[in-house]
Amino acid sequence: NMINNTFIDFLIKAKKSTYANSTIEKVKSSRVGSSDYHYEEKIDNKKYIYHDTYFGGTKFMGEEVVYCDSNKPVWGMNYYGVTFDDTLGEEAMDNALRPALMKVGEDKSVIPVRGISQFENNRYVYTFKTTGTIENFDGTEQIYKDNNLIYELHCSGGLIK
């Protein structure tokens, strides 16, 4: 079974070491027009690689893939997000999204693939709900400002065989 505590710990560390962390720089684009993040670590003599690539800004889509000890993907997640108020793009990301994503893994009520179930900061409220397991899941992430929905992301993913 590919999914174990080692894998989950790696995934959480990788997520906190890429987009969620505003101090981390992107890597070279893997495809025309993409923004990319990369993290890798050797654990128990196995090389784990995490790659996140996305397109767009206030309307965006992307994919995260984890490889273990080969060039063969073992886990992945697709996502599509929309910011409904374009004037709040980076402000919402800096106040709500990135801080919530940096808390991935701290809330055992949701699968550790995005943020925690709820986070509040500077009039922003972030929520994340999941169904399924880390091996086959769907999730919805939302951000509200002053009780108005300003952002929504849908994600799905799981094992790749």
Q: What is the pLDDT of residues 12-61, one digit of tens each?
A: 999 999 999 989 999 999 999 999 999 999 998 999 999 999 999 889 99
Do 44 and 6 form a contact (C-beta atoms < 8 A)? yes
Q: What is the pLDDT of residues 103-159, one digit of tens each?
A: 999 999 999 999 999 999 999 999 999 999 999 999 999 999 999 999 999 999 999
This prediction has a pTM of 0.93
pLDDT at position 1? 66
Q: Which two tokens stand for residue 86?
A: 């374009």
pLDDT at position 86? 77
Q: Bridge partners of 127?
A: 118, 142
Do 101 and 115 form a contact (C-beta atoms < 8 A)? yes
